[in-house]
Amino acid sequence: MIGSTKEALWIGFKATADDCNKLDLFLSALLKGGMSMMESLIREWDGETVIVHYDRPTGAWIFIAIHSTRLGPAAGGTRMKSYHDVEAALQDALRLSAGMTYKFAVPGIPFGGGKAVIAIPSEFDKQSCPAILRRHGALIQQLGGLFFTGPDFGTTSEDMDIIAETGAPYIFSRTLAAGGSGSPGPFTALGVFTGIQTVCEHLFGDMTLKSRRVLVQGTGSVGGALIDHLGAAGAKVMFSDVDEGAIRHFRDEFELKFVPAEAVYRTECDIFAPCALGAVLNADTIPQLKCRAVAGGANNQLADPENAKHLLDRGILYAPDYVINVGGAMAILGMETQGWARDQAEKEVAENVPRVLRQVFELAATEGITTEAAARRIAEERLSAGM
């Protein structure tokens, strides 16, 4: 049974009495330390429900955060990575689920915000991956349609195929071969690209990217596809990544300028496009920035909402992440719930992201507020109206 607001649910699977005794001892020890921090995070969170599952075979934790079901069932990707502690994983799930609520609300997509995080141990046996994904799918199945998921950092459409074995029909973005709509990455990248064009329109008077200097941080499924769009549009593209294979690929094969991670924030450019992990805009990095605007595909780019004011004070235009990176979610949900063809999905993304960004920029300028506050106001008005 799903709990009420801010209730944490402990959901497990059948186990022996010995297993249960061991788990009780484990949880008792945890309650004396980190669990109080976890409880505090949940109590301070403004969402609805948190599902917590400890995966005994792997030692991983699974968190499913349901931030809002005001506009419809919650939806959000499944992120899988190693964290320095369990609390960080929980905090990621809580923050990301809230971002999904606003991501859907601003353009009026009829879904609520949710997120799943699988926090794997630092020494995780990759051969265990299919099994934990199936257990994750079974957990989603138990929720009976309260939460839908798709790929996120650390997971792919192929992983969604595995999760769907036990979690269907609540799994989006399965591979094309499995009857799904494939990776959301290209659609997210398309939305970010058209968003960057809109940023240029706002700053420079037209949408052209020819000779504009764009620094892309992260060259995964979103950043890599974004680089393709930018290059085709004539932009002067720079990139940063920590993966040696990606560095060789984009520096040597595409002859793009590589920027080391330690120099990213102080590199001069027109547009800085964060496309990796979040919280990259903070009290340490914002003073270093030498760009006219920040517009990228990463989630939760602001370490704190107050950082939006710091960007404004520095004269840096910020395209709120959940506005500019909605393309993947919009396209996949449109194709899998409304029957959009792929070309229609691309058209919807290319039209909606610039339209909403213009609304955000106009409201921010009219009211004298940050673009983050403007986007949040639009979202909250739609959430209040239930539309």
State how far the Cα of 283 lies from the Cα of 290, in Å rounded to an integer: 15
For 122, the 3-state DSSP assignment is coil
172-217: pLDDT as tens digits: 999 999 999 999 999 999 999 999 999 999 999 999 999 999 999 9
Q: Pick the catalytic residue from 32, 81, 103, 115.
A: 115
Among the listed residues 137, 100, 92, the one whose alpha carbon sits nearest the alpha carbon of residue 119 = 92
**Pairing of the two strands 112-119 and 74-81:** parallel
More reliable by pLDDT, 244 or 4: 244
Whether 316 has a pLDDT exceeding 90, the answer reads yes
Whether 275 has a pLDDT exceeding 80, the answer reads yes
So what's the pLDDT on residue 358? 99
Domain 7-98+109-178, CATH = 3.40.50.10860
- Phi, psi (degrees; rounded to nearest 5) at 13: -120, 175
10 Å CB burial of residue 272 (0-12, 13-18, 19+) is buried
At 386, the pLDDT band (50, 70, 90 cuts) reads confident
At 83, the pLDDT band (50, 70, 90 cuts) reads very high
Whether 378 has a pLDDT exceeding 90, the answer reads yes
Q: In the beta sheet, which residues pair with residue 273?
A: 216
The whole-number average pLDDT for the span 301-329 is 98
Lowest mean pLDDT among 97-101, 108-112, 123-127, 206-210: 123-127
Q: Which CATH architecture has domain 185-326+355-383?
A: 3-Layer(aba) Sandwich (3.40)
The whole-number average pLDDT for the span 362-368 is 98
State how far the Cα of 82 lies from the Cα of 123, in Å rounded to an integer: 9
Q: At what angle do helices 86-105 and 371-385 cross, to 10 degrees?
A: 70
At 340, the pLDDT band (50, 70, 90 cuts) reads very high
Q: Is 347 a catalytic residue?
A: no
Whether 3 has a pLDDT exceeding 60, the answer reads no
For 335, the 3-state DSSP assignment is helix
Whether 17 has a pLDDT exceeding 50, the answer reads no
The whole-number average pLDDT for the span 258-280 is 97
CB atoms within 10 A of CB 225: 22
What are the residue boundaries of the structural domains of the chain, listed by start? 7-98+109-178, 185-326+355-383
Q: Strands of 7-10's sheet, edge to edge?
A: 7-10, 49-55, 60-66, 112-119, 74-81, 147-151
Averaged pLDDT score across all residues of the chain:
92
The runs of H, that is alpha helices, within 7-85 are 17-31, 34-44
At 100, the pLDDT band (50, 70, 90 cuts) reads very high
Whether 72 has a pLDDT exceeding 70, the answer reads yes
- Virtual torsion, Cα 155, 223, 176, 108, nearest 10 deg: 90
Is this structure's pTM higher than 0.75? yes
State how far the Cα of 307 lies from the Cα of 49, in Å rounded to an integer: 27
At 297, the pLDDT band (50, 70, 90 cuts) reads very high
Q: How far apart are the first and last CA of the chain?
A: 27
22-38: pLDDT as tens digits: 445 444 545 555 567 88
Residue % of the chain over a pLDDT of 90: 87
The whole-number average pLDDT for the span 238-246 is 96
At 295, the pLDDT band (50, 70, 90 cuts) reads very high
Dump the DSSP string for 190-251.
HHHHHHHHHHHHHHHSS---TT-EEEEE--SHHHHHHHHHHHHTT-EEEEE-S-HHHHHIII
Under a CB-based contact definition with an 8 Å cutoff, are residues 104 and 60 in contact? no
